[in-house]
Amino acid sequence: MVILATLTGTDTVGGGFGRADRVAIARLQREGGFQVEEIHVGWGEQHDQHADGLHHAMIAKFLQEQAVDKVVTGHMGEGMQRMLSAMKIPVVQFQGPLGEVLAQAAEA
């Protein structure tokens, strides 16, 4: 399982999805726990530079490249929710410390 979580601070999950500047890609390991990689995505900067369709397409491509199975964020707009629903990627709205949120999201 691969979970993408939006990051607002050091190891803190929350904020908006489409304007996230950093995300954590958490890959569930066979022995338990997650291997986590933080990635600067710059979606906040891109949001105002591109039309919504292009912005959404860029995010969809990233999700596919990372093989994301689930998204955890503090907030997500309706258009982005529709896109992830069409991609069959569940969205869970949690906020808090990354480790705790990942544990909750893996079970949700």
This prediction has a pTM of: 0.91
Amino acid 49: pLDDT: 67
Render 23-69 in DSSP notation, one character per residue: EEEEEE-TTSSEEEEEEE--HHHHHTTS-HHHHHHHHHHHHHHTT--
- Looking at domain 2-107, its CATH architecture is 2-Layer Sandwich (3.30)
Please write the tens of the pLDDT for every residue from 1-42. 999 999 997 789 999 998 899 999 999 998 888 999 999 999
52 confidence band (pLDDT: 50, 70, 90): low
Amino acid 44: pLDDT: 76
Domain boundaries, the chain: 2-107
